[in-house]
Amino acid sequence: MKPETKNFNLKSKETLLDPQIQENLSGLYGGFHSARIKASSDTADWEELQIKGREIKKHVINHLDQYLELLESNVISSGGHVHFAETAEDATQYVVKLAKKKGVKTVVKSKSMLSEEMSLNEELIKHGIDPYETDLGEYIVQLAEETPYHIIAPAIHKSRQEVSKLFADKIGTNHTENIETLTSEARDQLRDKFIQADMGITGGNFLVAETGTLALVSNEGNGRMCTSMPPIHVAIVGMEKIIPSMEDLGTFLRLLIRSATGQWISSYVTMISGPRESTDIDGPEEFHLVIVDNGRSKMLADPHLREALYCLRCGACLNACPVYRKVGGHSYGWVYPGPIGAIVSPILTGLSDAKDLPFASSLCGACKEACPVKIDIPRMLLYLRNQLAEGKNYPDQRSVGFLERVASKFMSSLLSSNKAVGFFLKAANLIATIAPFVRKPFPPSWTKSRESPTLAKKTFVDQWVSLDLDGSLRKKH
Ligand code: SF4
């Protein structure tokens, strides 16, 4: 998927003015968001789970090289293949080459945000291979020739009326707004694809290092069919998805699923350790694990951003965010929207091209509060804003001009001195007696969407001193 992160402001405006999308998005708060709050408050040890999950993630990310080696050796000893891909292109080439070598014509896919990073479907099509998304939301988005809108609910922006029209136009179904009928139509279409498929491609929610196991969480069963029906299974997984042990998987399944959908446990949790064995009744003959970096090592190398790699991709921060719930997923212009996307996308695609994303936040902290592993998203957003202005760690990505930086430095030293502020306020008040507009100093472009504060005739300190309060209090000033 080509990054279009430069268009955030324009796309946001379009979404804000679209009443249909606003109505579709309004369901997020009462839906996923409320369900998460209920599930977490019903879990007696939720706080302990969060702390434990965060500690495990911190440990793994700090020892990523060792865990990746352990994972690799366990996958290979179970009969699987492992490929480390430095870039999205490298990962795509591996999958395409393998598909061509094996004569693959049809691929069934379960939801994978990483495959969007890789533009995998486009590449497969270029080589004459037909990819079919089998998650219902992804299937809708693929039919609409769009990209996912939300990490766990890719078609959240579409109403049932829109889906009904889409199905009628693209797959010739009768018009119906009955969700069960629409789902059943999609199931009928996809059933044949599962049977025809020569290759199944999935993402992965977790990679268990001690056993070489891939864990997949889903509610539709499509993930399990993608991994068990075609003769070849390829899993493409970001390198941050690794966890040490099966015991840790128990912790993370609870954290992920309750934060994502508010369910106690999802309908399917599939665990795959290598290809089928001679005694297995189903499963693929070949299992390939592609572990992808594609810029993640930049986050690993920056201690200020490293904790972004703890992300479980549960989507809770999106549902909690008052900005995401208004501007929607496509405004962010790349695979990962919402608060965590405003950190990940600029680092993976280029900070200066995504310079509006770190500012797409009111810094209210709802994202951090919702996060199952307590990722401090507001702190990282502020860090990226600072990098865009000061550029000490990313000097070539600076997007603030020389004059603005000098003006900001001047204002910063001015505002940190009580005396200087007092002096300037008095001077401004004096000037305002001759030129009253000075009392409302902000230009119309600034006040179009916010109120201009009016310069007080007397500073707070002057008002305080002139109050007839206890003499000792006044003396202190
Ligand atoms: S940052 Fe936290 S809340 Fe947001 S998707 Fe990742 S794990 Fe979920």
Q: Is the pLDDT of residue 413 over 60?
A: yes
Q: Read off φ and ψ for residue 329, nearest 5 degrees.
A: -75, -40
State the pLDDT at residue 439. Answer: 75
Judgement on whether residues 212 and 169 belong to the same structural domain of the protein = yes
324 belongs to a structural domain: yes
- Pairing type for strands 206-208 and 130-133 reads unpaired
Which of 98-112, 154-168, 232-246, 406-420 is predicted least confidently? 406-420
Residue given tokens 């949790």 in the structure block: 269
State the pLDDT at residue 418. Answer: 84
Query: 173 C-alpha to center of ligand 1: Å?
Result: 37
Mean pLDDT, residues 184-209 taken together:
97
State the pLDDT at residue 421. Answer: 85
Q: Which pLDDT band, with edges at 50, 70 and 90, does 460 fall under?
A: confident
Q: Is the pLDDT of residue 407 over 80?
A: yes
Query: 367 C-alpha to center of ligand 1: Å?
Result: 8
Q: Is the pLDDT of residue 168 over 70?
A: yes
Alpha carbon dihedral 42, 35, 338, 87, in 10-degree steps, equals 70
Domain boundary among 297, 325, 351: 297
Judgement on whether residues 87 and 211 belong to the same structural domain of the protein = yes
220 belongs to a structural domain: yes
Per the structure, the count of domains in the chain is 3
Judgement on whether residues 123 and 28 belong to the same structural domain of the protein = no
The pLDDT tens digits of the residues spanning 303-315 come to 999 999 999 999 9
User: Which residue, among 318, 316, 284, 302, has the nearest Cα to 351 in the 3D structure?
Assistant: 302
The tokens for 301 are 């190398």
Mean pLDDT, residues 382-390 taken together:
93
State the pLDDT at residue 391. Answer: 81
Residue 225: CATH number of its domain = 3.40.50.10420
Q: Are 2 and 349 in contact (CB under 8 A)?
A: no
Q: Which pLDDT band, with edges at 50, 70 and 90, does 468 fall under?
A: low
Distance separating alpha carbons of residues 43 and 49, to the nearest angstrom = 9
Mean pLDDT, residues 403-409 taken together:
86
Q: Is the pLDDT of residue 22 over 90?
A: yes
Distance separating alpha carbons of residues 58 and 248, to the nearest angstrom = 13
Tell me the residue range of the domain where 330 lies: 1-42+315-416
Domain boundary among 231, 262, 297: 297
The pLDDT tens digits of the residues spanning 267-320 come to 999 999 999 999 998 899 999 999 999 999 999 999 999 999 999 999 999 999
Q: In Å, what is the CA distance from 284 to each residue of 197, 219, 235, 463?
A: 12, 21, 12, 78
Ligand 1 site, CB within 6 A: 259, 311-317, 340, 370-373, 375
Q: Which atom of ligand 1 is nearest to the CA of 312?
A: 7
Nearest residue (CA) to ligand 1, atom 3 = 371
Give 159-197 as a DSSP string: -HHHHHHHHHHHH-PPP---HHHHHHHHHHHHHHHHHH-
Query: 314 C-alpha to center of ligand 1: Å?
Result: 5
